[in-house]
Chain A
Amino acid sequence: MLLNKCNIFLCTNARTSGLISSSIKLLSTAVPNSQSKPSGETKLYASVCVERMPVITCDMNDLENRYSNLINEINVRRSLLSNHELRHLRDIERAKKKKDKQDDQELVIETAVDYEDKQLKQFKSFEFANRKTSAEFDKANVEKENKKLLLQNIDYILDKKLILLVSEPNSSVWQLPKVELASEDLSLRKTAERAVQGLSEKFEVDYMGNAPVGVFKSKKESLIEKQYFFKAQYKSGAQHLASSKFDFVWIRKDELKDFIKNKDYLACLNNFILDF
């Protein structure tokens, strides 16, 4: 099967070059020659980049805050009077007329100021949920061993995207969960699904598309490894991830470089992992 793949690849290249040269190229791999060495085994892997999307929108920068405040000020000063403000002006006129006329007609009308006070009171009584979990405060102060436990908690940062990294127990090599392509898999996507189900059965994930998003090729002596990356969004079941077979961490994209030492792998990941 692999030889056929090589042939197909060569055919597509050769078409543009010319007929005769194409036939020669075809035959260079088709003719079985006992003296030629094998070009090397290629192993195909499918790995999945499981991400937990941000739960809340992230806070604005210092610069963004100042700019948005400035723009709001400008808009308010430039705008025409709203209904509420017109109502306020009318109330003031009415109060003046009352003073001058000194009539006994006392109509109980809700003034604009009263209305505003009532609404503000309702606003203050509303309790907003916490934007930062308590775990985030601890992160800066905690020691190294406890830090790992902290990173395994999926809710420790709410406003940024978190990526799942997995490592073999007692090894310092962190990578995305990956699994080798088996003969029973009909497509690479099925292999990717197997990779995630291998972590835990109850770990639910939504795949974004059927095609891989990136490729990483590594060569060790004569062994060529190709990893195809699929993208998936975490749906539910993070509490079932703890197991003795592997070690896992949920980290942000800027912390990726602390965990992944291989520069080429990191460069490849940076291509398709987006973070704003």
Chain B
Amino acid sequence: MIAKTVSKLNKKSSIPVFQSCCLRTSSLASNEPVANKSQKIKLTELLNQESQAKKDVKMDYVNNAEIKFYDPPYLVREAPFPNYELLNINLKGYDYSVLNTYYKYIEKLCNLLKIEVIEAYAMPSRSFKIKTYQPFSTNLDKEYNLQMYHRIVRVKNLKSTLAPLLFETVQLNLPEGVQLDIHEPTFEEDEFRYVPDIELQEMRQKLSEMTRKPGDSKSNKK
């Protein structure tokens, strides 16, 4: 928007615009009073347009009403720098104590750097049973029960110029046995946190069967 106003001012002769803003007018301006007035109006119009464009009309779809913000128009709500909206820093490891302390360290680090940490939580661990067999036979040699622990630090509005530095500190300080994975959060990952509700799933299945029935009966008739 700013660029547009600037380009508009550049295109027209800028001197009369300047004079229209000032209280004193020179001889040049008095020769063309009509033109000045029209340009005067346009300047204020431009400024009004700027403030109007900033009012984003946000809708609250639950109540079907406009969310009204009563902030003055010169307050910009958007971040002035490009940023990563949501990022998940995944830490996985078989060693519980090391993983836990490292995950706490990352949380403290983000707070120090004033990065917004929305959530820092644990994902349910996956257990592995590993069996080694004696050579050339199916006799059990050794059996291991391992658990892969998983921690996630969710970060919001990470400044894109700070992002590479954060990724690097996390990577360089990784202790042995911890795997790092940084990506945007996916729906499946979020769903894995929650215990599936069996009753709800059964009801949903019944519902889908019921809605499918008229379609099925039609195809049978044909």
Contacts and interface: CB of A to CB of B under 8 A. Distances in A.
Interface of A: 4, 7-8, 11-12, 15, 19-20, 23-24, 26-27, 30-31, 53-54, 57, 161, 208-213, 231, 272, 274-276
B161 A231 contact: no
Given A11-B2, A276-B172, A276-B173, A208 B163 contact: yes
Contacts of A31: 14-15
A27 B172 contact: no
A272 B172 contact: no
Contact of A27 (B18, B43, B163, B168): B18
B74 interface: yes
5 nearest A-B residue pairs (beta carbon): A211-B160, A208-B164, A231-B164, A209-B164, A7-B6
Contact of B10 (A19, A30, A208): A30
A231 to B, nearest CB: 4
B163 A4 contact: no
Given A31-B15, A53-B171, A211-B161, 15 more contacts: A4-B3, A7-B3, A7-B10, A11-B2, A11-B6, A19-B47, A20-B21, A23-B21, A23-B43, A30-B14, A31-B14, A57-B176, A209-B163, A213-B161, A231-B164
A276 B173 CA distance: 8
B161 to A, nearest CB: 5
B169 interface: yes
B6 A209 contact: no
Contacts of A274: 165, 168-169, 172
Contact of B17 (A23, A54, A231): A23
Contacts of B98: none
Interface string B64-88: 0000000000100000001000000
A15 B7 CA distance: 17
B168 A231 contact: yes
Contacts of B167: 208-209
Contacts of B10: 7, 30
A23 B6 contact: no
B59 interface: no
13 contacts: A8-B2, A8-B3, A11-B5, A26-B14, A30-B10, A208-B163, A208-B164, A209-B160, A210-B160, A212-B161, A213-B164, A231-B164, A274-B169
A211 B3 contact: no
A19 B167 CA distance: 42
